[in-house]
Amino acid sequence: MNTERMKKLVSLVKIHGLEAVALNPGPSLRYLTGLEFHLMERPTVLLVSASGMSAMILPGLEKAKLPGETTVFQAFTYGDDPAEWQAAFDRAAEKLGLTRGPLGVEAGRMRFLELVFLKNALPGIEFVDGGKVIDGLRRKKESGEIAKMRRAAQIAQSAILTTLKLLKEGMTEKQIANELVVQLLRAGSDDQLPFSPIVSLGQNTANPHAVPSDRAMHKGDLLLIDWGASFEGYFSDITRTFTFGEVEPELLKIGDIVLRANRAGRSAGKPGLPAGAVDRAARLVITEAGYGDFFIHRTGHGLGMEAHETPYIFDENKTILETGMTFTVEPGIYLPGRGGVRIEDDVVVTETGLESLTDLPRELLPLEKFMG
Ligand code: CO
Ligand code: CO
């Protein structure tokens, strides 16, 4: 249990005018308590009130995970019979003495399962999206968190270099992706990867979210890999694009433009500027080169204990950058039916600007340089 972080949460609950928040198993619960639970058929919820009281409803068999007498929240457990579960929610609600609401929930995590028990336990209380509280809680990373993200980046980079050595002409996207997963685990990634690697070849690189297929690697292909590692719950998320043999000149040209856009984005952020400034700087390079219609996604997304979190890097986002915020810079150009290039780095906002946690060479690199 991290009492400093719990204090921060309580103050955010007050600032946003809520009476309490409910957290489900996931990154925010882990951030506060160090406890990891999976979303299972049994409900687990932590309630934290503006008065600083907290109560956790959880299955009795999970009680062994709790830190014992030092715990700052009270545990309300239940057994295997679902008929008992409502009573655990009722006792927790009674303990916290919630009367007014509103109660903020994690919109993307709260399930119908928990919501029904909570609503029954808290009649007349309004439930609202608690997203602003959650974002405020985890958005600025502490130095220890950044160190974990740096390690996640190093693991991902070391895994890709080993994977590239093992590539051979004729290997399929799926085979490359599977090898990369093995190498990520060998290099020290947590077993829960941030996402399954995207590996695409040739024309498939024109689809930013391609799923690895049986398409085999041949001379003249681009190879785009978007992958990440996880270290103690913190993620990396990197994309590099490679060439295999001689690639058509326009694909090399868009490679240069995306490289310049990536640099422009990484140079554009600093404390006090809006997140949108990073998007605009990267996008301007691509638009001025005549490919604006082929940069079909935002420039990046927040990264940390989740693969996508705030701040999102898009033109209209006025969120002011602060030191310790972490996000990706990942411009791309995608030419349908021909190929695409994306170059993605993970950055942290420092006093002077954006520092990249990822440092693999960024230009379109000939695979032949790496293959064994
Ligand atoms: Co990515
Ligand atoms: Co990304």
pLDDT tens per residue, range 278-294 = 999 999 999 999 999 99
Give me ligand 2 centre to Cα 330, in Å. 7
Question: With bands split at pLDDT 50, 70 and 90, how would you rate the model's confidence at 62?
Answer: confident
pLDDT at 71: 63
Is the Cα dihedral 203, 195, 243, 368 positive or negative? negative
pLDDT at 260: 98
pLDDT at 70: 55
Give me ligand 1 centre to Cα 317, in Å. 20
Asked if the model's pLDDT at residue 184 lies above 90, the reply is yes
pLDDT at 87: 97
Q: Which ligand lies nearest the alpha carbon of 195?
A: 1
pLDDT at 198: 98
Nearest to 335 by CA among 215, 265, 242, 253: 253
Q: Which ligand lies nearest the alpha carbon of 156?
A: 1
Burial class (CB in 10 A: 0-12, 13-18, 19+), 222: buried
Give me ligand 2 centre to Cα 253, in Å. 23
Give me ligand 1 centre to Cα 80, in Å. 40
Q: What domains lie within the chain, and their CATH numbers?
A: 3-138 (3.40.350.10), 143-369 (3.90.230.10)
Give me ligand 1 centre to Cα 197, in Å. 8
Give me ligand 1 centre to Cα 346, in Å. 9
pLDDT at 68: 66
Give me ligand 2 centre to Cα 299, in Å. 9
Paired tokens of 113: 């399962």
pLDDT at 355: 98
pLDDT at 69: 57
Q: What is the C-alpha to C-alpha distance for residues 198 and 71, in angstroms, rounded to an integer?
A: 41
Mean pLDDT of the chain: 95
Give me ligand 1 centre to Cα 366, in Å. 21
Paired tokens of 75: 């545990």
- What are the CB-based long-range contacts (under 8 Å, 24+) for 239-242? 239/198, 239/330, 239/332, 239/342, 239/343, 239/344, 240/160, 240/343, 240/344, 240/360, 240/362, 240/365, 241/205, 241/340, 241/341, 241/342, 241/343, 241/364, 242/164, 242/364, 242/365, 242/366, 242/367, 242/370
- Residues with Cβ within 5 Å of ion ligand 2? 237, 328
Q: Which ligand lies nearest the alpha carbon of 299?
A: 2
In contact, 226 and 342? CB cutoff 8 Å: yes
Give me ligand 2 centre to Cα 228, in Å. 9
What tens digit of pLDDT does each residue of 342-355 get?
999 999 999 999 99
Give me ligand 2 centre to Cα 284, in Å. 20
Average pLDDT value for residue range 243-269: 98
What tens digit of pLDDT does each residue of 218-231 get?
999 999 999 999 99
Give me ligand 2 centre to Cα 193, in Å. 13
Q: Which ligand lies nearest the alpha carbon of 209?
A: 1
Nearest to 349 by CA among 333, 331, 328: 328
Peptide bond into 311 cis (omega under 30): yes
pLDDT at 61: 87
Asked if the model's pLDDT at residue 64 lies above 90, the reply is no
What tens digit of pLDDT does each residue of 324-345 get?
999 999 999 999 999 999 999 9
pLDDT at 2: 81
What tens digit of pLDDT does each residue of 7-61 get?
999 999 999 999 999 999 999 999 999 988 888 889 999 999 999 999 999 999 8
Give me ligand 2 centre to Cα 163, in Å. 20
Q: Which ligand lies nearest the alpha carbon of 240?
A: 1
Give me ligand 2 centre to Cα 331, in Å. 10
